[in-house]
Amino acid sequence: MGALIAKNKKLYILRNEAGLSQIECAYKLGIPTNQYAAIEQGKTRGKVNVWSNIQKLFNVPDADMWELIKGSM
């Protein structure tokens, strides 16, 4: 079975630049791995509090958040 393609490439890039697996990222965000994977794969948008935690985890400036969130739509 092949790897699923990330539809939110910006989030995928941030995670990889931080050297985190999806499992590690989900743990740091306090969410299940399948929930994080679904956000990265564009299957769900995720809740506001998750995006707030993503912003903090990756130090994303406020001005760049809409583009990051939009990538999951």
Cα distances (Å, whole numbers) of residue 60 to 2, 4, 34, 56, 67: 30, 25, 23, 7, 11
Q: How do the pLDDT tens digits run along the chain, 73 residues long?
A: 345 566 888 999 999 999 999 999 999 999 999 999 999 998 888 899 999 999 999 999 998 988 888 776 5
Indicate the Cα dihedral angle 38, 46, 13, 30, nearest 10°: -90
pTM of the model: 0.84
Q: What is the DSSP letter of 44?
A: -
Q: Are 36 and 22 in contact (CB under 8 A)?
A: yes
Q: What is the DSSP letter of 24?
A: H
Structure tokens at 13: 């890039």
